[in-house]
Amino acid sequence: MTEPFLLFPDGFIWGCATASYQIEGAFDEDSKGESIWDRFSHTPGKITNGDTGDVACNHYHRFAEDVNLMSKIGLKAYRFSISWPRIIPDGIGEANEKGLAFYDRLVDKLLEKQIIPFVTLYHWDLPQALEDKGGWRNKDTAFAFAEYAKVVVNCLSDRVTKWMTLNEAPCVVHGYQREDSAPGAREPEKVINQIIHNLLLAHGLGVQVIRGNAKKQPEVGLVHNPSVKIPKTNSPEDTAAVKTAWFDANAWWFEPLYRGKYPEKLWREKRNDIPQITDEDMKIISTPTDFLGLNIYTGNLVEADHNRNSEGLKEVAYPREQPKTAMGWYINPDCIYYGLKAVAERYDVKKFFISENGCAFDDVVSYDGNIYDHYRINYLKDHFLSAYRAVSEGINLVGYFVWSLMDNFEWTRGYSKRFGIVFIDYNNSQKRILKESALWYKNIIEQNGIFK
Ligand code: FCB
């Protein structure tokens, strides 16, 4: 019996994603300024194997070849980020024409190959000069971000129409909380809440600046990584438990964005640790957007629990045999469906993208020179099916970006974790090899669908 073929909506945008610091290299070329990730990776002991992004995939010099690979895979879209310190080396002040010229060439090359550029303005590489003035602790950074956004929009918006403000603001916060990512600080709760507020403000200001300055009608959104909650069973009790768990974990980000205020329940809990905010800030933060990008890799299982000391729910551990990726992240494809559903049910989001999903595995080059990453194909297939389920239930998911186009600098894990559908041979001048998953993805894109 042949399995049914599931067709995605017409014009579904299949793409891949990357980020500047993870692939570009050329860390001090063409007048680029230092970023917090340059500083952090150059600090001994911070990154696995002492790796740095100094060279990375050398994409800065090999972008044309990389776009040709994208075209070979048949990508409809490419999501990349812009390095702020390449554009404004000191964070504020004069723009660096050479930095702008790089993205200018990249965008032209993408358009030549009919690949839609999706530009992320901030994927974690803050200019070190701004960190020296407080970084995201300082509200001025949000305004500096708006100035930087304006420079980029002036340069690219005659050709770029898809804009993403910040990537995964919660992970930016981790850099101030856990010491294990840049800038590597450990701040008290009150400062953390101010940082969250400043990031939300930067997003809102970014939306306004893009709308106000774009030469072509823009579509603007945020890229966020929600904490995904998956009900252990379909029972109404577990479903209700998931709602509460979701709210507690995510509302501090979503309510200001979509309702213009911080959630009262969580506000009461934070009491003395609330940040300095104004009504004007909240208006800016809740400026309507055109879409929301969700980065989803996994999720937590939740069930109802009415024991005396519980809040009516508990997170359940995955069984020991539940498979994991090389990152140690549990594989549960339902994360895509439930990740989208939780947001779609609560907020009026016009369009969704899965702006990142993918997996790290310990790929090896086989004797014939190919990389047979069937485990990655299985992972992607199951997650695409989960996305299909959301689409078939009426959620307006319009595109999906696989993380990542190529193996790259996986932050604190350096080059030890491979997420790409293109293999990078770091020992052999960053030679690129399409993995089996890239060829498989090409087929999915061509058919705009998948066998169940
Ligand atoms: C996300 C990041 C991305 C990449 C993946 C694996 O949190 O946005 O840069 O590192 O995880």
CA of residue 401 to ligand 1 center, whole Å? 12
CA angle 265, 288, 229 (to 5 degrees): 45
Euclidean distance between CA atoms 78 and 406, whole angstroms: 12
Catalytic residue, from 24, 34, 356, 410: name it: 356
pLDDT for 275 equals: 83
Ligand 1 site-directed mutation target among 35, 41, 123, 168, most atoms within 8 Å of CB: 168
pLDDT for 1 equals: 61
**Catalytic: 446?**
no
**Catalytic: 356?**
yes
User: Partners of 312 in the beta sheet?
Assistant: 305
Query: What are the sequence ranges of the domains in the chain?
Result: 5-451
CA angle 273, 121, 29 (to 5 degrees): 115
What fold, for 5-451?
Answer: TIM Barrel (3.20.20)
pLDDT for 367 equals: 97
CA of residue 111 to ligand 1 center, whole Å? 25
Q: Helix 189-213 and helix 236-259: axis angle, to 10°? A: 60
Q: Which atom of ligand 1 is least distant from the CA of 225?
A: 7
CA of residue 23 to ligand 1 center, whole Å? 12
pLDDT for 176 equals: 98
Euclidean distance between CA atoms 155 and 380, whole angstroms: 35
Euclidean distance between CA atoms 405 and 133, whole angstroms: 34
Q: Are 430 and 26 in contact (CB under 8 A)?
A: no
What DSSP designation does 34 have?
P
Residue bearing tokens 């294990």: 180
Q: Are 150 and 157 in contact (CB under 8 A)?
A: no
Q: Which residues line ligand 1 (CB under 6 A)?
A: 19, 22, 167-168, 171, 225, 295, 356, 403, 410-411, 419
What parts of the chain have a pLDDT lower than 70? 1
Burial class (CB in 10 A: 0-12, 13-18, 19+), 420: buried
CA of residue 259 to ligand 1 center, whole Å? 27
Closest CA to 137 of 222, 96, 194, 184: 194
- Rounded to 5 degrees, φ, ψ at 395 are -75, 130
pLDDT for 430 equals: 98
